[in-house]
């Protein structure tokens, strides 16, 4: 009788639960179900965090970076990250320092690690987009800077770098649009004006090119000098773009 009742219950409920007892979740499955922040707190409990020590190492890293001692700076900033792994600005400092040292791949890794903790951290997105741009990964640069732009419509860095990326793609209309916006947001910085001149040059609009470059010259007369253009490499321009800017320069 008991077997019959059990069988009947199994038949009635089989479509919902089945007749076999549910399998116990594995530790791996449980780990996947945890929020990332909780996983981190379990793997790196709060009592191990040394925020004061991390701040001291960040300062050491900044001092070393100012002295162009990138090896010491990176070592100090890695220690800062290890001492306080939830502090996203530490990843930004580390990634940007690695970028300045020429290690683009390491920079991208560090910045993405920071973004896993705060996907909307605009300084991290700005730095990551620049690293992608300089590396030549234009699609990733555009996606990253677009995200940063959407989070803050007055993010001049994102508009400026999007202009450079779109000019290389090429999508000249988008390059002009974003460079125009960058000049509106930061009119006293010559870099957006040079980017705008480059975009108009690519559009074969000589008058607009000269007008934009003239604005850059008024802000910084060194743009008359060919040797000064080399610094544009540090401002996100590619070698080919700098050669194009040099052609623009000869119009003056």
Q: Is 59 helix (H, G, I), strand (E, B) or coil?
A: helix
Is 26 inside a domain boundary? no
Q: What confidence score (pLDDT) does residue 24 get?
A: 55
Are 111 and 162 part of one and the same domain? Answer: no
Q: Does residue 168 have a cis bond before it (omega within 30 degrees)?
A: no
Domain-ending residue, one of 153, 187, 222: 153
Range of the domain at 239: 156-252
Cα dihedral sign, 68-73-74-77 = negative
Q: What confidence score (pLDDT) does residue 44 get?
A: 58
Q: What confidence score (pLDDT) does residue 9 get?
A: 37
Residue 226 belongs to a domain with what CATH number?
1.25.40.10
Are 112 and 176 part of one and the same domain? Answer: no
Are 59 and 145 part of one and the same domain? Answer: yes
pLDDT at 195 over 60: yes
Domain-ending residue, one of 129, 153, 177: 153
Question: Per the structure, how many domains does the chain have?
Answer: 2
Chain segment 33-86, per-residue pLDDT in tens: 545 554 555 555 565 789 999 999 999 999 999 999 999 999 999 999 999 999
Q: Is 113 helix (H, G, I), strand (E, B) or coil?
A: helix
Structure tokens that stand for 92 in this block: 């930004």
Are 176 and 125 part of one and the same domain? Answer: no
Pick from 242, 246, 196: which is nearest to 224 by CA? Answer: 246
Are 212 and 131 part of one and the same domain? Answer: no
Q: Which of 47-51, 140-144, 183-187, 246-250 has the lowest mean pLDDT?
A: 47-51
Are 185 and 133 part of one and the same domain? Answer: no
Are 103 and 197 part of one and the same domain? Answer: no
User: The pTM is what?
Assistant: 0.81
Is 39 inside a domain boundary? no
pLDDT at 21 over 90: no
Domain-ending residue, one of 104, 127, 153: 153
Query: How many percent of the chain have pLDDT more than 90?
Result: 80
Section 215-228 average pLDDT: 97
All residues at 6 or more sequence positions from 121 whose CB lies less than 8 Å from its CB, including other chains:
88, 92, 114, 115
Q: Which carries the bigger pLDDT value, residue 25 or residue 223? A: 223
Chain segment 113-168, per-residue pLDDT in tens: 999 999 999 999 999 999 999 999 999 999 999 999 999 999 999 999 999 999 99
CA dihedral 115, 119, 124, 127 (to 10 degrees): 100
Q: What confidence score (pLDDT) does residue 8 get?
A: 42
């Amino acid at each position: 009788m008991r077997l019959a009742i059990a069988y009947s219950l199994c038949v009635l409920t089989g479509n919902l639960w089945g007749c076999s007892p549910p399998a116990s979740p594995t530790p791996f499955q449980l780990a996947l179900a945890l929020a990332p922040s909780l996983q981190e707190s379990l793997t790196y409990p709060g009592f191990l965090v040394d925020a004061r020590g991390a701040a001291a190492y960040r300062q050491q890293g900044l001092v070393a970076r100012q002295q162009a001692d990138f090896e010491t700076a990176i070592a100090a900033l890695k220690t800062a990250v290890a001492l306080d792994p939830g502090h996203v600005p530490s990843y930004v400092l580390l990634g940007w320092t690695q970028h300045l040292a020429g290690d683009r791949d390491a920079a991208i890794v560090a910045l993405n690690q920071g973004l896993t903790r705060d996907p909307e951290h605009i300084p991290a997105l700005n730095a990551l987009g620049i690293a992608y741009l300089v590396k030549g990964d234009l699609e990733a640069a555009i996606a990253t800077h677009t995200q940063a732009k959407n989070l803050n419509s007055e993010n001049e860095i994102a508009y400026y770098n999007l202009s450079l990326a779109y000019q290389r793609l090429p999508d000249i209309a988008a390059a002009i649009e974003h460079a125009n916006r960058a000049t509106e947001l930061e009119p006293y910085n010559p870099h957006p004006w040079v980017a705008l001149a480059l975009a108009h040059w690519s559009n074969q609009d000589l008058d607009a090119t000269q007008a934009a470059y003239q604005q850059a010259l008024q802000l910084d007369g060194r743009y008359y000098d060919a040797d000064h253009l080399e610094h544009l490499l540090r401002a996100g321009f590619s070698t080919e773009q700098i050669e194009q800017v040099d052609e623009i320069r000869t119009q003056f």
